[in-house]
Amino acid sequence: MNIQVLQLIEGAKQARGITVIIDVFRAFSVEAYCFSQGAEKTIPIGDIDFAYKLKEENPDIILAGERRGKIMPGFDTGNSPSELKNIDVRGKTVVHTTSAGTKGIANAKQADEILGASLVNAAATARYIKNSGASEVSLVCMGLEALSETEEDTLCANYIKSLLEGTHIDMEQEIESLKTTSGAKFFDKAQNDIFPEADFAMCTELNKFNFVMRLKRTENGLDYMEKIEV
């Protein structure tokens, strides 16, 4: 199995085979919590105006997303798993647009199959890849606003890679170290309105969920994420 760890938009463009788009803080953590709370599907898109259009056409849609960490005007929720607890998504479609993760999906045009992942479903993602018998795997870290690499996404990629290769990473220690690197913003009281401290624990709860999120391609071009138990 050939496994590549790639970074940002250029990495997404280079991705081949089974492609895992990784966004720990917070896109694919949020989508995992959406599914755990009963969402029927999520639609990850990069275009905010298109998100508003979908909501106008179907008011039952839940709009979730951010730019620079902040909830967008008129959205039902931002990009926060702790905030999502207050939203009833059962049986609903969640349209999700963010600064990084959803852009990765949009640019992974050469991928055979696309999964969304974070630390909360990393082991399930590795199991799915193993069961697929894939010969080529691309682990794409989307980083901060898809512009700069981040420790949490690279950690998640390396962890999935270690599970596929049978090597070991001390994840407890690595997650603890995130509190003083890319995760420090969650412990900065001046930023808690955008980055609630509770989000850090929720996004780093390793292997909380036993499902993968797989992109389902549609004829009308409105691709969506589906939940698959593994």
- In percent, the amount of the chain with pLDDT more than 90 equals 90
Read off the pLDDT of each residue in 105-134 and give the average, rounded to a whole number.
97
Q: What is the pLDDT of residues 60-113, one digit of tens each?
A: 999 999 888 889 999 999 999 999 999 999 999 999 998 788 789 989 999 999
Read off the pLDDT of each residue in 32-52 and give the average, rounded to a whole number.
95
Read off the pLDDT of each residue in 3-16 and give the average, rounded to a whole number.
98
Q: For residue 101, what pLDDT is reported?
A: 82
Read off the pLDDT of each residue in 192-205 and give the average, rounded to a whole number.
97
Inter-residue contact 204 to 178 (CB < 8 Å): yes
Pick the range with the lowest mean pLDDT from 178-187, 189-198, 215-224. Answer: 215-224
| Closest listed residue to residue 116, CA positions, set 221, 1, 178, 32 | 32
Residue 171 to residue 79: CA distance in whole angstroms = 24
Each domain of the chain, given as residue ranges in start order, spans: 2-213
Is the sign of the CA dihedral 73, 92, 122, 131 positive or negative? negative
CA distances in angstroms from 117 to 34, 37, 124, listed in the order given: 13, 17, 9
Q: For residue 221, what pLDDT is reported?
A: 78
R_g of the chain computed on alpha carbons: 16
Q: How far is CA 3 from the centre of its chain?
A: 19
Q: Are strands 211-216 and 113-117 parallel, antiparallel or unpaired?
A: antiparallel
Q: Are strands 62-67 and 93-97 parallel, antiparallel or unpaired?
A: parallel
| CATH architecture, range 2-213 | Alpha-Beta Complex (3.90)
Residue 130 to residue 51: CA distance in whole angstroms = 34
Which residues have C-beta within 8 Å of that of residue 160, sequence separation ≥ 6?
20, 22, 117, 122, 125, 126, 129, 139
Please report which confidence band the pLDDT of residue 220 belongs to, taking 50, 70 and 90 as the band edges. confident
Q: Are strands 224-229 and 211-216 parallel, antiparallel or unpaired?
A: antiparallel
Average pLDDT across the chain, whole number: 96
Q: Return the HEC string of 138-163.
A: EEEECCECCCECCHHHHHHHHHHHHH
Please report which confidence band the pLDDT of residue 189 belongs to, taking 50, 70 and 90 as the band edges. very high
Residue 54 to residue 74: CA distance in whole angstroms = 13
Task: Give me the residues paired with residue 137 across strands.
Answer: 3, 18
Task: Name which residue leads in pLDDT, 45 or 188.
Answer: 188
Please report which confidence band the pLDDT of residue 131 belongs to, taking 50, 70 and 90 as the band edges. very high
Read off the pLDDT of each residue in 37-45 and give the average, rounded to a whole number.
96
Task: Name which residue leads in pLDDT, 179 or 106.
Answer: 179
Read off the pLDDT of each residue in 160-179 and give the average, rounded to a whole number.
98
